[in-house]
Amino acid sequence: MKPYNFKTLGIFIFLGLTSLGFLLGRSIIKVKNLERTVVVKGLAEKEVSANIALWPIKFSEANNSLSNLYDKLEKDKKIIIKFLEQNGFSENEITISQPSITDKLALEYGNTKNIRFRYVANQAITVYSKKIEKVREISPKISELGKKGIVIISNNYESRIQYFFTKLNNVKPEMIKEATKKAREVALKFAEDSKSSLGKIKSARQGQFSIRDRDKNTRYIKKVRVVSTIEYYLSD
């Protein structure tokens, strides 16, 4: 091959590589521009009323005679159930647990010499109801049963009324829409401040819904919360 052919070939190779490098460079710039993104979070919160109440009524009895103890428990149980039914709760809203009996003389530890009552029993009657206002109205009156000789246990965690919100699916669509809207508002503000334009969504993640008491004094009012995380493309 003649010398000038090598020279010509070298020029073409150089031009080709230069063009290829230019095109690749432009492609890289385009990719980088496309990869300019912003990740934002949108929060949606909503207060709702509980729709289910779980009200455990725990009572206790002590006696030295096991048979008398069971008789007294049965009497207490009937009085409590009558009280509930008279105040608007139906039979299918009331559940009765088995009594828990402790024989203090059978315990392997502690001083048993000064035991006044050998047997101690604890039992619970639970109200599971959608009548939230009725539970709130009647529950403080349960102490009236003390006048009939029933020992109501009300000072421990297990006796606390629990309220639940089970209609999450009813509020989900609206809250997701609100969270997405707020996320976009944040992204638009960021784009404006950075002198960019907001593009399409690159990815979106919906967080878990949480349901918590609004506060310890109004546990029948719940606060539902969700956070959506959205990544948007940015362009100049």
Domain ranges of the chain: 1-35, 36-51+165-236, 52-164
Tell me which residue has tokens 């784009």: 191
36-51+165-236 and 52-164 agree in CATH topology: no
Task: Identify which has the larger pLDDT, 7 or 112.
Answer: 112
The rounded percent of the chain whose pLDDT value lies above 90 is 70
State pTM to two decimals. 0.77
Query: Which fold would CATH assign to domain 52-164?
Result: Alpha-Beta Plaits (3.30.70)
Q: Note the pLDDT tens digit of each residue in 12-70.
A: 555 555 554 544 444 333 444 557 899 999 999 999 999 999 999 999 999 999 999 99
The DSSP secondary structure of 171-183, one letter per residue, reads HHHHHHHHHHHHH
Average pLDDT of the chain is: 86
Does position 110 have pLDDT exceeding 70, yes or no?
A: no
- What CA–CA distance (Å, rounded) separates 111 from 62? 18
CA–CA distance from 95 to each of 54, 69, 124 (Å)? 11, 21, 8
Q: What is the largest CA-CA distance in the chain?
A: 124
Give the three-class secondary structure for 150: coil
Amino acid 30: pLDDT: 42
User: How far apart (Å, rounded) are the C-alpha atoms in residues 59 and 152?
Assistant: 4
Q: Which residues lie closer than 8 Å to 22 by C-beta, 6 or more apart?
A: none
Query: Looking at domain 36-51+165-236, does it have CATH number 3.30.110.170?
Result: yes
Joined together, the tokens standing for residue 200 give: 């399409």
